[in-house]
Structure 1
Amino acid sequence: MTATLEQPKAPTGADDRSARSLIDAVFRAREISIAGALVLLILGTWLVNHSFLSDQGIKDLLLNASILVLLAVGQSVVVITRNIDLSVGSLVGLSAFACGRFASGTDRNVVLVLLLGMAIGAVCGLVSGSLVSFGRVPALVVTLGMLYIIQGVDYWWAQGEQINAVNVPGGVLELGSGSVLGIPYLPLIAAVVLAAVAFHLRSYRSGRDLYAIGSSPEGACLAGVPIRRRVLGAYLLSGVIAGFAGALWLARFGTVVADNARGWELTVVSAVVVGGVSIVGGVGTVWGAALGAILLTTIGSVLVVLKVNPFWEDAVAGALLLAAISVDRIVNLRFTSALRKRRARHDP
């Protein structure tokens, strides 16, 4: 007599989708709560100081958030794949100085300046992405090393030199100070980049693959997702956006030194995580990351208006980061527990 062993019933995927929709709903709720907190923060500050929402006050809020929003968009794409890029702050500084050197004392076309910044970012992004995806070196190690390399190159190149606004072409400065229908160019540029990346992540397979990689690298591999190519593409996009942001930094401030945006990498990561992008990958949107960036920059502006010690800006950002990571951990534990229970109910 031959005995046959009955194989366990394979999951159909319905439970996975149901649990995933639950966790997605939680993170969407966090985005809504961030937007609500932002509105309350702005209204509360306006009640204390009505000039906070004056025409100039609103423009300042938008301008202050624009570059951080761009960096948060690029960083969120990397974090969704369960990786991180700590080199974006130093890359902004290098790009800003390089673009300033390129444009200083000449009448360079603004498009050429922007393309130079993006090219520098692309090279750095390709190096980091290649080491992470093909070299399989931990992302934290690679990007931390890139941070110090870029800073070293920038300081060696600058030799204490400063690019002054008086030497920057008017067309470049106009990009940072000009507006259309009363809305500054920089927030409009940030909104266009944000919408384009969000649309790609939602509507194209290459964008959805990033979520699959972050949710389960093993499952994505079995599904035929080209993981190495996708991760490389995420780092390339992050680098291009950071280089682009460096060129916009030059346009915004005019005066550039070697250590511009130093330390911003942690602020960018905070914005992304606070905005609902899970630090363990697979969950979140660039819209939430942008909200996190706007919230952090608004907190900084509010502290200035209320004449509070600037130290508290870092303290608040750190507290929000810890709270966001704690929420991520709790949600993921509940998600795993709920998924196991659902599978257990369907197993024979």
Structure 2
Amino acid sequence: MTTTETRPPSAAQPEAKRNSPLSAVLRARELPVALALVILVTVTAIANPLFLSPQGVKDLLLNATIIVILAVGQAIVIITRNVDLSVGSILGLVAFMTGSLFANVEGIPIPVVFLAGLALGAVLGAINGLLVTLAKVPALVITLGTLYIYRGVNNAWAGGTQYFAGDRPDAFGALSVDTFLGFPVITLLALVVVVVVGVFLAGARSGRDLYAIGSDPEAARVFGLPVGRRVFLAFVTNGLLAGLAGVLYASRFNSVGATTGSGMELDVVAAAVVGGVAIFGGSGSVFGAAIGAILLTTITSALTALRVDKFWQQAIVGVLILAAIIIDRIASVRTARKLRISEARDV
């Protein structure tokens, strides 16, 4: 006679509950950010009904588009336990190059300008990646240096020159004016970027490798992962997306010059961190980074609509960054503690 050992319902039930889709959603790092965004929009719309007018929604989406693309690239780098502070300077260089091409090369096709911007951004990102992976110097130090180098190159190239909306083709400027199904064209392009990169990180082996590298670089090397190559490609991808953002910036705004993109790197890092991308690497998603970017730009728009002083706008963003880092740290400590308890029980 044989007996079949069955798992006690009391043990099986909690495990099933933990693995349920609802439980997974509730544990998602992006959920608090999304809820904060919904609450912010609702409260602001009640105080100022024009905030959610068709034009108001369009402005919100357009304001977030550039930061969303930059935050996606930054998230890829931060997941590998690095950071890129030069993205604002890369955007500025590409944006000025875009204006220069339209102003000085008669009849240049718009797709060629996009390809040139992507190529320049990828090259600048590759420089960062090579310096980080070959010199073995922290990315914070390397990209702080290239931030000033790229900005200096832009200053030397641009000087006092500025390119305005009249220097570009109408079709190029229409990218940030025209809509499709009610959404600005460049916002839909940003959405495509978020989805493609998100699917890559979740489904491709090389994308999952980035999380392993960020969690423990030394362990990743022991397991045979090409750490240097993966980190290099993360910086190249980040530079490429910064190049795309630079081209779209030239379409979105009326002028580009030597100071274009100055200070944007801090907003981009803030968007990624607030969106649940752990500053210590190894966790987070580009979807969360995108939501974080929308949240930060919406905060600025909401406080402006409510006539709140600009100082308080910056202070609130700073509080959000600190809160995101503290919450992430607490969550990491709790996870490590549960793991130790579970291992002790198994023993």
Q: TM-score, normalised by structure 1?
A: 0.90
User: Which amino acid in 1 is paired with 2:320?
Assistant: L
Superposition deviation, residue 116 in structure 1: 1.3
Aligned-residue RMSD, C-alpha? 1.8
Is the CA contact (8 Å cut-off) linking 2:29 and 2:284 kept in structure 1?
Answer: no
Question: Does residue 35 of structure 2 align to residue 36 of structure 1?
Answer: yes
Superposition deviation, residue 341 in structure 1: 2.6
Superposition deviation, residue 107 in structure 1: 2.8
Question: Does residue 338 of structure 2 align to residue 338 of structure 1?
Answer: yes
User: Which amino acid in 2 is paired with 1:324?
Assistant: A
1:12 equivalent in structure 2: none
Aligned partners of 1:26 and 1:232: how far apart in 2? 32
User: Which amino acid in 1 is paired with 2:78?
Assistant: V
Deviation digits for residues 260-308 of structure 1, max 9, x if unmatched? 1211111111110110010111111111011100000000000111111
Aligned partners of 2:260 and 2:101: how far apart in 1? 17
2:146 equivalent in structure 1: 146
User: Which amino acid in 2 is paired with 1:308?
Assistant: V
Aligned partners of 2:182 and 2:208: how far apart in 1? 36
Aligned partners of 2:192 and 2:315: how far apart in 1? 31
2:296 equivalent in structure 1: 296
Matched residue SS, 2:56? helix
Question: Does residue 284 of structure 2 align to residue 284 of structure 1?
Answer: yes
Query: CA, structure 1 residues 27+120, in 2 after alignment: closer, same or farther (shift >3 Å)?
Result: farther
2:220 equivalent in structure 1: 220
1:324 equivalent in structure 2: 324
Superposition deviation, residue 343 in structure 1: 2.4
Superposition deviation, residue 337 in structure 1: 2.3
Aligned partners of 2:158 and 2:78: how far apart in 1? 31
Matched residue SS, 2:255? coil
1:211 equivalent in structure 2: 211
Is the CA contact (8 Å cut-off) linking 1:108 and 1:169 kept in structure 2?
Answer: no
Query: CA, structure 1 residues 164+93, in 2 after alignment: closer, same or farther (shift >3 Å)?
Result: same
Moved more, 244-253 or 330-339: 330-339
Q: TM-score, normalised by structure 2?
A: 0.90
Aligned partners of 1:28 and 1:241: how far apart in 2? 29
Is the CA contact (8 Å cut-off) linking 1:96 and 1:249 kept in structure 2?
Answer: yes
Please list, as runs of the form range in 1=range in 2, the aligned pairs for 1:73-222 lying within 5 A after superposition: 73-104=72-103, 106-222=106-222
Aligned partners of 1:310 and 1:283: how far apart in 2? 32
Matched residue SS, 1:171? helix
Deviation digits for residues 179-232 of structure 1, max 9, x if unmatched? 223221111000000000000001100000000101111221122111111000
Deviation digits for residues 227-267 of structure 1, max 9, x if unmatched? 11100010000000001100000010131121112111111
Superposition deviation, residue 28 in structure 1: 4.5
Matched residue SS, 1:89? helix
Please list, as runs of the form range in 1=range in 2, the aligned pairs for 1:233-252 lying within 5 A after superposition: 233-252=233-252
1:46 equivalent in structure 2: 45
User: Which amino acid in 1 is paired with 2:211?
Assistant: Y
2:13 equivalent in structure 1: none
Matched residue SS, 1:149? helix
1:5 equivalent in structure 2: none
1:59 equivalent in structure 2: 58
Query: CA, structure 1 residues 85+58, in 2 after alignment: closer, same or farther (shift >3 Å)?
Result: same
Aligned partners of 1:108 and 1:131: how far apart in 2? 34
Deviation digits for residues 106-162 of structure 1, max 9, x if unmatched? 332111111111111111110100111222111011100110001100011111111
Aligned partners of 2:33 and 2:119: how far apart in 1? 34
2:259 equivalent in structure 1: 259
User: Which amino acid in 2 is paired with 1:103?
Assistant: F
Unmatched tracts of structure 2, length 5 or more: 1-17
Is the CA contact (8 Å cut-off) linking 2:211 and 2:281 kept in structure 1?
Answer: yes
Unmatched tracts of structure 1, length 5 or more: 1-18
Aligned partners of 2:26 and 2:258: how far apart in 1? 38
Is the CA contact (8 Å cut-off) linking 1:71 and 1:238 kept in structure 2?
Answer: yes
Equivalenced residues, count: 326
Matched residue SS, 2:135? coil
Query: CA, structure 1 residues 236+213, in 2 after alignment: closer, same or farther (shift >3 Å)?
Result: same
Aligned partners of 1:216 and 1:76: how far apart in 2? 17
Aligned partners of 2:26 and 2:323: how far apart in 1? 14
Aligned partners of 2:27 and 2:232: how far apart in 1? 27
2:10 equivalent in structure 1: none
Deviation digits for residues 1-33 of structure 1, max 9, x if unmatched? xxxxxxxxxxxxxxxxxx9x9xx9699444112
Aligned partners of 1:339 and 1:134: how far apart in 2? 35
User: Which amino acid in 1 is paired with 2:68?
Assistant: V
Matched residue SS, 1:246? helix
User: Which amino acid in 2 is paired with 1:123?
Assistant: V
